[in-house]
Amino acid sequence: MSTQQTAGQEQHAIVTGGNVATDAVLPNGLTQAQQDGLDRALAYARELQQTVFKDILEEERQRSDEERKLPACTVNPGLLAGVDVRNLSVMSRLYVGSINFELTEEHIQRVFSEFGSVSSVSMAKDPATGRHKGFGFVEYDVPEAATLAMDVMNGMMVGGRQLKIGRPNNYNLAVTQGFPAPPEERIYVANVNEAISEEVLREIFAPFGEVKACVLSADIVTRKHRGWGFIEFAEPTPAEQAAMAMNGFSLGNLTLRVRKCVVGGPLGEGMAALGSLPPPSSEAVASNNVSQTTGPRPPQQVIDVAASINLSIGEAAGSAPLQPSSTPQVIQKTVASSPIVVLENVVGGRSEVDDELAADMEGEGSKCGAIAKVVVHFASQEEIQAAGGVEGSEVSIFLQFKEPASAVRAVKLFDGRWFAGRQVAASLFDIERYRVVTSADTMVYIPEASD
């Protein structure tokens, strides 16, 4: 045996009979003994991977897949297409500035809910005073809702201040490069009255062209739709025309919000998926009832929605519900001919009504044209129950104008305006139904100049 050491060598190898000893250093920096031990460990790990850990890993994979599985009634195309949730969240978020300091997060949720389901509202607060700083963020379930809200609400007067709507600082159009392209045949529809089914909505939009699909986002607890969804036509042109014509169209005392889509992907089953789901638990139903009573609600939910749809097409009292054959042209023509405007949510209840209320409403309404009569209507118990018993449904105020055109202007003036921290809902009301509803009312105000 001989040992030879040369310059630059930091290690030595012992060569015996042509074999490398176990303390020889290999190219990877390990000795032969260390390498042998590593090989044995890797072989053992591979064996465990195929035996003991196989079932554990399979269970973990199934659990992970289950967590990523979307509810059967999901109609969010981006989620169904597998788009990163964080990127969708950025696209669905808005900055809201110049907020009146008297408004709360609940007020903001009410104002912005007509464009789609609001998943969260956060307002920056001053730690010293506990009051918000006049700005915050609104996040929706889908990007289309955020885009609609920005188009409509930027510059809108709310609570005496002009809102400033924009995108958050982390918004970057680059995130949309990996999104599925939105189909040109598809439109987004929001603020759909809860009494309007998918079938009826399909028929309302059918005059524009062949409708291939109409799905509304479903609530698995209430078994009702959430007021927004998608309509897909057979061709792009009808979709474009429908988006232009139906955006702002009044249906069932709610103003439809319509626009072209932002993100593509599958549509899902919509309300049809509810049939395959088990009934909600009693705890979930109870929790939902509490949240509906005490939590934020849409600004126009105080309306008797089923009756209002009948009234919007000029049906007499006690007539049959709205049928799918009704077209937008028929509805719009009849609504525009009514000289009656109903104001909802002006006050919270009877205790808030004073002798000056009718005169005050006449003073505001007369800016739109001559008023023949103002009626403060106290709803019956049946009417309150039909409206869901929500706050603001106990008292309605009817303005009877001398000209239908004045009533149309009044709806634009009053609808969505804020009075004493309450957002008023205004809509045209069928004149025959008005005569029946107010026949027993005694709180009637007739302007002195009226004939």
At 298 the pLDDT is 28
Q: Report the percentage of the chain scoring pLDDT > 70.
A: 73
Element (H, E) at 258: strand 257-260
26-35, 359-368, 422-431 — most confident range? 359-368
Number of other CB atoms surrounding residue 266 within 10 Å: 15
Q: Give Cα 207 to chain centroid, integer Å.
A: 26
Residues 6+ apart with CB under 8 A from 402: 339, 369, 370, 371, 372
Q: Which long-range contacts (CB under 8 A, 24 or more apart) does 168-171 make?
A: 168/90, 168/93, 168/94, 168/95, 168/137, 170/90, 171/90, 171/91, 171/93
The per-residue DSSP string of 372-429 comes to EEEEEEEPPHHHHHHTTT-TT-SEEEEEEESSHHHHHHHHHHHTT-EETTEE-EEEEE
Residues 399 and 392: their CA atoms lie apart, in Å, by: 17
- pLDDT of 10: 41
Query: What pLDDT does 355 receive?
Result: 85
- CA separation for the pair 254, 309 (Å, rounded): 10
Burial of 240 (0-12, 13-18, 19+ CB in 10 A): middle
HSE-up (13 A, CA, CB side) for residue 317: 9
> What is this structure's pTM?
0.52
Percent over 90 (pLDDT), the chain:
31
CATH of region 299-445: 3.30.70.330
> Taking 90 as the threshold, does the pLDDT of residue 375 lie above it?
yes
In this prediction, residues 350-374 reach a mean pLDDT of 91
Residue 301 vs residues 153, 193, 437: alpha-carbon distances, Å:
20, 9, 20
Work out the pLDDT band at 386, boundaries 50, 70, 90. low
Give the separation between CA 440 and CA 448, rounded to whole angstroms: 22
Pair of tokens at residue 282: 């009693």
Fold of 77-282: Alpha-Beta Plaits (3.30.70)
Domain ranges of the chain: 24-69, 77-282, 299-445
| Backbone angles phi and psi of 56, in degrees to 5 | -65, -45
**Tens digit of pLDDT for each residue in 230-261?**
999 999 999 999 998 888 888 877 889 999 99
Of 201 and 3, the one with more pLDDT: 201
Q: How far apart are CA 326 and CA 303, in angstroms?
A: 21
Do domains 77-282 and 299-445 share one topology? The answer is yes
pLDDT: is 19 or 209 the higher one?
A: 209
Does position 387 have pLDDT exceeding 90, yes or no?
no
The pLDDT score that the predictor gives to residue 52 is 64
